[in-house]
């Protein structure tokens, strides 16, 4: 019987840069902040970590660093998504060698594929590397989504553990839950979908907002896991505007900007990601102040 890689809140952690290099001292600080905030797992080299602009050697070094610094206190899940299946195989092999607890694999982007191709794409990696895999469904970014029937097929693979579901399609989620039961675990891929998804059996969230407010996201998930959706909802309402503003531009532009505004000094974005538009920056500042956070 499968067991979920984690329950509760996981952070899709940013990658702090100093020019063209990773700031590993800052990365170590961020890991400690996440641990103190009660976070259950870190997603390293995901979308929020700007993995699309990371060379393979840098990607592998960062995963290895995070595994060592986390030292078993939180789960470490390495992003291995690619539109080249064999690149995903290599990244998955490297993640396992480093001691990662799991991998996160997004649907292939740009070249895309059919549903039959998706099954082959994911199972090729799952067959070759014995490490738990979380699928990542976000058609708004990749241009291709996973259907409920495809989820059912993939759920039968022993190494496919669950799904970061970020389509926002609750009908898809409910149909898939009914089809797959406990053969496939679910986590919300959007901060604003966490509570409704957990009310239907999701086990937590892979969060962007927890880069800034890890304890808030941790507490919200704990309330849900304990069946206290009233308290979870009250907490969500307090931070709902911030959750929205963190996606006012393409992720991770707003969250990295917010972290720098709060004095966390996570450095620059890598092109093609760029600085926020001035009008959006002001909205983000207002939202941060509105939840009681202090700008530096």
pLDDT tens sequence across 261-277: 999 999 999 999 999 99
Any residues with CB less than 8 A from the CB of 216 and at least 6 apart, and which?
209, 210, 235, 239
What is the DSSP code string of 26-45? Answer: HHHHHHHHHHHTT--EEEES
pLDDT of residue 1: 82
Condensed to tens digits (0 to 9), the pLDDT of residues 149-200 reads 999 999 999 999 999 999 999 999 999 999 999 999 999 999 999 999 999 9
pTM exceeds cut of 0.85: yes
Where residue 158 falls (left for φ over 0; alpha for ψ -120 to 50; beta otherwise) is: alpha
Q: Is the bond preceding residue 272 a cis peptide, omega within 30 degrees?
A: yes
Catalytic positions, written as ranges: 136, 164
Contact 43, 10 (CB under 8 A): yes
Q: Is it true that domain 8-228 has CATH number 3.20.20.70?
A: yes
Give the per-residue pLDDT at 204.
Answer: 98
- Residue 189: CB partners within 8 Å, gap ≥ 6? 136, 137, 138, 164, 165, 166, 167, 205, 206
Percent of the chain with pLDDT over 90: 99
Quote the CA–CA distance of 40 and 32 in Å, as a whole number. Answer: 12
Bridge partners for 106 per DSSP: 136
Is it true that the peptide bond before 162 is cis, omega within 30 degrees of 0?
no
| pLDDT tens-digit readout, 215-258 | 999 999 999 999 999 999 999 999 999 999 999 999 999 999 99
Q: How far is CA 271 from CA 22, 53, 63, 84, 117, in A?
A: 15, 8, 22, 22, 30
Tokens of 142: 């990749």
Q: Calculate what percentage of the chain has a pLDDT beyond 70.
A: 100
What are the distances in angstroms from CA 98 to CA 53, 91, 93? Answer: 21, 10, 9
Per-residue tokens: 45: 């080299």
- Does residue 52 have a pLDDT over 90? yes
Average pLDDT over residues 115-144: 97
């Amino acid at each position: 019987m499968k067991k979920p890689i984690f329950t509760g809140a996981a952070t899709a952690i940013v990658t702090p840069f100093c020019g063209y290099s990773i700031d590993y001292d800052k990365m170590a600080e961020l890991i400690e902040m996440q641990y103190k905030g009660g976070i259950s797992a870190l997603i390293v080299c995901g979308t929020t970590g700007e993995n699309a602009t990371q060379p393979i050697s840098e990607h592998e070094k960062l995963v290895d660093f995070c595994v060592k610094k986390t030292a078993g206190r939180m789960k470490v899940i390495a992003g291995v998504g690619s539109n080249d299946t064999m690149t995903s195989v290599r990244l998955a092999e490297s993640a396992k060698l480093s001691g990662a607890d799991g991998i996160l694999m997004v649907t292939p982007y740009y070249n895309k594929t059919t549903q039959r191709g998706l099954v082959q794409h994911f199972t090729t990696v799952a067959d070759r590397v014995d490490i738990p895999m979380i699928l990542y469904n976000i058609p708004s970014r990749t241009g291709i989504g996973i259907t409920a029937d495809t989820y059912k097929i993939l759920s039968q693979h022993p190494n496919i553990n669950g799904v970061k579901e970020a389509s926002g399609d609750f009908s898809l989620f409910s149909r898939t839950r009914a089809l797959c039961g406990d053969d496939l675990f679910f986590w919300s891929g959007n901060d604003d979908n966490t509570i409704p998804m957990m009310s239907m059996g999701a086990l937590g969230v892979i969060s962007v907002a927890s880069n800034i407010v890890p304890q808030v996201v941790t507490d919200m998930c704990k309330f849900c896991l304990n069946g206290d959706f009233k308290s979870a909802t009250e907490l969500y309402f307090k931070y709902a505007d911030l959750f929205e503003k963190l996606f006012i531009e393409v992720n991770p532009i707003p969250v990295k900007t917010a972290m720098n505004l709060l004095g966390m000094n996570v450095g620059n974005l890598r092109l093609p990601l760029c600085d926020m538009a001035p009008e959006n920056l002001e909205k983000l500042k207002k939202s941060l102040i509105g939840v009681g956070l202090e700008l530096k």
